[in-house]
Structure 1
Amino acid sequence: MTYPDFPAASATLTLPGPAGALEVAVDLPRAEEARPVTAIVCHPLSTDGGTLNNKVVTTAARALRELGVATVRFNFRGVGHSAGEFDHGVGELDDLRAVVAWVRQQRPHDALWLAGFSFGSYVSLRGAKELGADAVISIAPPVEGRGWDFGPIDLPEVPWLVVMGDADEIVDPQAVYAWHAALPDPPVLVRLPETSHFFHGKLIELREAIQHVARDWLPSA
């Protein structure tokens, strides 16, 4: 399969995906700050209006970029200029596989980090071990009541951060905390008080939480 080159400056482009074109946005850190890491950030539920431009997604990407990480956001099938139709997480994982394959081909020496918000955290966590992620960030993972089964996921044994708002009105915070506590090797958990699902008024706190933890994961420049 012929892939476009990884851009030398921030850009949007189209990748061949399993259901057709995939719309991708690449943003690069300042050259003097760049680390050998590429992070792919997955957006929330397509049927609820989730896109690569979601504010939580762009905030997570910005937080990582300020640490010197190249970031890749993309629209799942059926969103924006990505072809196909919503596929309940199955086809969306195939979309992520296609984006990872491109990043691996274009930046083979980079560490691969996977991040996701809400539904995007489900897709990225499902693929993390299979795809060889070196670190994972899960923001407001919908572990209960949204139709996504986290139980059978083969969890990665890599640095992993979960960020959850205590006042999330869509994902039950207590369900997330109970799920986290029951994990055999629980990841770092950051609880943000008085914070809703979409982190209204709390995007700065989200960015700082990600940076505080992920900074320690960075390889040498």
Structure 2
Amino acid sequence: MVRAEALARWKSPVIGEIMPTRFIEVAEESGLIANITLAVLKQAIAALKSWKDPIPLSINLSGHDLISDQIISQIIAQVQASELDPALLEFEVTETAMMADTHKASSNMLRLAALGHPLALDDFGTGYSNFSYLRTLPISKLKVDRSFMKDVSDPMTEKILHSLVGMARTLGVDCLLEGVEDEIQLVLAKRVGTHMVQGYLFGIPMTDGELLTSLAGQDAVAEDVVALDAVNG
């Protein structure tokens, strides 16, 4: 395991568990998504500082976050105040998130990259990817969307994945395949040449404490503060 992704979860004492696809959408529409981003970052930092041997974490940034100089400044301030190594916190963005203001989004991505934060392009292959556009961004990883792993029996699936992995190799960045949930999908991932995968085959979303106990050789116990999705390489 080389990294884990910090995920937001909401369990209301009144109406029970609300799915992220619902409350994240509402938060984005209402302009409250930045509050969630900062809260997740705060808890992720607390988890990292409590672990004896920190596992690098990834945190998602919304389109609103990405084009807001103020939010990016608050993110930077939180990390700097924590005195953590910036390499421990990777930020994930989507092409769709950058479309509202590509220039501003690129500028803020450069700010984060300049401080040592890895940047990953999430849901790769489903947006408006083009080579000339991608090579101008400070991206260190392409995360191929899980939709490409749904039909591994289709001969075109392997050809498309080969192409996407090849593009990452040409750009000189890492390539991760999402949605690996069984051994057949893992075999396909290996066959197309990627060295990193993420999915339920290696772990379902869990608390930080559960993550620690699932790792061999880890004896640190931390308070349950974030949900995590394991990334394997």
TM-score normalised by length of structure 2 = 0.39
Which is greater in Rg? 2
TM-score normalised by length of structure 1 = 0.41
Indicate the structure with greater helix content. Answer: 2
